Amino acid sequence: MNSERARLTALYGGLLVLAGVLLMGLVYFLVGEGLYSNVLTAVSPAVPAVPASRTDGVSAPFPPSSDWARTTIVESGQYAVAQKVSTAAGDAVLSQLLTVSGISLAVYSALSVALAWWMAGRVLRPVGVITARARRLSGSNLHERLALKAPPGELKELADTFDGMLDRIEELVAARQRFAANAAHELRTPLAVQRAAAEIGLADDPSPEKVAWIRDKLIDTADDSEQLIEGLLLLAVSDEGLRRRERVGLDATTATVTQALAAEAEERDVTVDVAARPVSVEGDPVLLDHLVHNLVANALRHNHPGGTVRVRVGPGGLEVANTGPVVDPATVPLLFEPFRRARARRHAPGEGAGLGLSIVASVARAHGGDVGATANPGGGLTARVTLPTCP
C-alpha cells in the first residue's frame, strides 16, 4: 500500500467487515440459543399420538419437566417425534441462516470496501489539493491561495494554515526582492561616481590639485560604500535573530552612545538631552548598541542647527525625539523599510544609505520588541522602541 488512500481504505474496510462478522456471529448465537426449544414448543401440539408398538421396543423419552410440559399434555411417543422434527427443522434453519449470512457478509464486505475507498478519497481530497498547489508554487504564483470551502475541522484548519504560510512567504519574498533591488541601486551609485571621477577627472593630464580632489572624492565614495555594506551585513545579522543573550543595561548603553556622538552633535549645533532610568534587557549588547546609535544618529542628522534631540530611557523602552523638517505622517511607517528616506537623497557626505531605522526595527524584532514613530507637529520625528525588560 503506497498511498494513504489505500491505507485508510484497508483500515475503514477492515473495521466495517469485522463489525459485520461480529454481528453475524452474535445473530447466529442468539438464534441458535433458543431455536430448538421454540420449534419444539410450536411443533409438539401438532404431532399426532404414536402407538407404543411403533416405538420398536425403544422407550420414548419423557417430556421435559418445564412450564411447557406442565401446560401442554403430550404423550412420551408424541414428544419423541416432536423432538426429532424440531431438531431437523432447527438444523435446517441454522444452515439456511448461515448460508444467507455468508452471502450477505460477502456483499456487505464488497460494499464496505467501496464505501471506504470513496470516504478516504473525500477525506484526503483537501490534502491532495494542498499537495498539488505546493508543487506548483513558484515566485510567479505566490499570490494564489487554497481558500478551501469546507466545514470547520482539522483539514480546514490545515488549509487555512497553509494559506497563512503563503501570506508570510509572499511578504518575505517581496521584501527580499525590494531589498535586493534597492541594494543594487545604492551600490551602483557610488560605483558610477568613482568611475566618472576616474575617467573624467583624470583625463588630459590633470593638475596635482585636481588629482588630490579626485583622490578625496574617491575616498569619500569608498567610505560611503563601506558604510552601506556594513549596514547591509548588520541588517542581515539582525534578521537572523540573536546568537547570544546576556543582561544589558539599556541606560548605560544609551549614555555611552550619546557620549560617543557628542562631537557630532556639537558640530551640527544640536543639543542632546538625555534622561535615563536604570533598565536592563536580555539580548545582544552589540546589536543593542547599534539600535541606540542609529536612533540617536538619525535624530542628529535629520535636524537643523540649534535643534534638540531628547532621549528618554525607562521601563517602557527607549524614546528619541528630535526637531527638524516637517515629516509627512503618511510616510512615517515607510521609514522603517530599507533605503527609505523622508526626503530625496542628495548624495551629501555623511547622509547615509537609508538603513538606520530599518536596522532599528530588525534589532527590535530580534529582541522580541516593537518599534514605532510619529511625526511631530512642529517638525521632526519621535521614535519609540519597546523591549522586554529583565526583572
Of 310, 318, 305, 309, which Cα lies nearest the Cα of 279? 318
What integer pLDDT is reported at residue 386 of this predicted model?
A: 92
What integer pLDDT is reported at residue 235 of this predicted model?
A: 62
Alpha helical stretches, state H, 197-207: none
CA distance 264 to 2: 70
Name the more confident of 259 and 156. Answer: 259
Q: For the residues 143-172, what does the mean pLDDT come to?
A: 80
77 vs 43, 65, 87, 197, CA distance in Å? 14, 16, 16, 134
CA 297 to centroid of chain Cα atoms? 38
CA distance 59 to 256: 122
Bridge partners of 84, per DSSP, are none
CB atoms within 10 A of CB 267: 9
Of 136, 163, 138, 135, which Cα lies nearest the Cα of 149? 163
What integer pLDDT is reported at residue 5 of this predicted model?
A: 79
Please say whether the beta carbons of 331 and 296 come within 8 A.
no
What integer pLDDT is reported at residue 75 of this predicted model?
A: 53
What integer pLDDT is reported at residue 44 of this predicted model?
A: 62
What integer pLDDT is reported at residue 278 of this predicted model?
A: 92
Using a pLDDT cut of 70, give the percent of the chain over it: 76
CA distance 217 to 200: 13
CB atoms within 10 A of CB 134: 12
What would the pLDDT profile of 324-376 be if each residue is shown by its tens digit?
999 888 888 888 776 655 544 444 444 454 566 877 888 888 888 899 999 99
For residue 233, pLDDT over 60 is answered with yes
User: CA torsion sign, 193 to 196 to 200 to 206?
Assistant: positive
What integer pLDDT is reported at residue 49 of this predicted model?
A: 56
Q: For the residues 230-255, what does the mean pLDDT come to?
A: 76
Give the range among 31-40, 45-54, 298-307 with minimum mean pLDDT. 45-54
CA distance 288 to 330: 28
Helix, strand, coil percentages for the chain (3-state, nearest 5): 65, 10, 25
- Give the three-state DSSP class for 265: helix
Please say whether the beta carbons of 383 and 255 come within 8 A.
no
Mean pLDDT taken over the chain? 78
What would the pLDDT profile of 243-291 be if each residue is shown by its tens digit?
678 899 999 999 999 999 999 999 999 999 999 999 999 888 888 888 8
CA distance 344 to 341: 7
Q: For the residues 200-225, what does the mean pLDDT come to?
A: 77
Q: Give ∠ CA 345-354-234 in degrees, rounded to 5.
A: 150
What integer pLDDT is reported at residue 47 of this predicted model?
A: 60
Q: For the residues 198-202, what does the mean pLDDT come to?
A: 73
Of 144, 147, 135, 142, which Cα lies nearest the Cα of 173? 142
What integer pLDDT is reported at residue 79 of this predicted model?
A: 65
HSE (CB half, 13 Å, CA atoms) of 79?
15
For residue 77, pLDDT over 70 is answered with no
Cell of 182: 534597492
What would the pLDDT profile of 172-181 be if each residue is shown by its tens digit?
777 677 667 6
Please say whether the beta carbons of 342 and 355 come within 8 A.
no
Give the range among 133-137, 200-204, 232-236 with minimum mean pLDDT. 232-236
Question: Please, which residues have CB within 8 angstroms of residue 258's CB and are 6 or more apart in sequence?
Answer: 272, 274, 296, 311
CA distance 17 to 9: 12
Q: Exposed, middle or buried: residue 209 (CB in 10 Å: 0-12, 13-18, 19+)?
A: exposed
HSE (CB half, 13 Å, CA atoms) of 81?
16
CA distance 285 to 17: 67
Give the range among 56-65, 126-135, 249-258, 303-312 with minimum mean pLDDT. 56-65
What integer pLDDT is reported at residue 205 of this predicted model?
A: 75
What would the pLDDT profile of 104-150 be if each residue is shown by its tens digit?
888 988 998 888 888 888 878 777 777 777 787 776 777 777 777 77
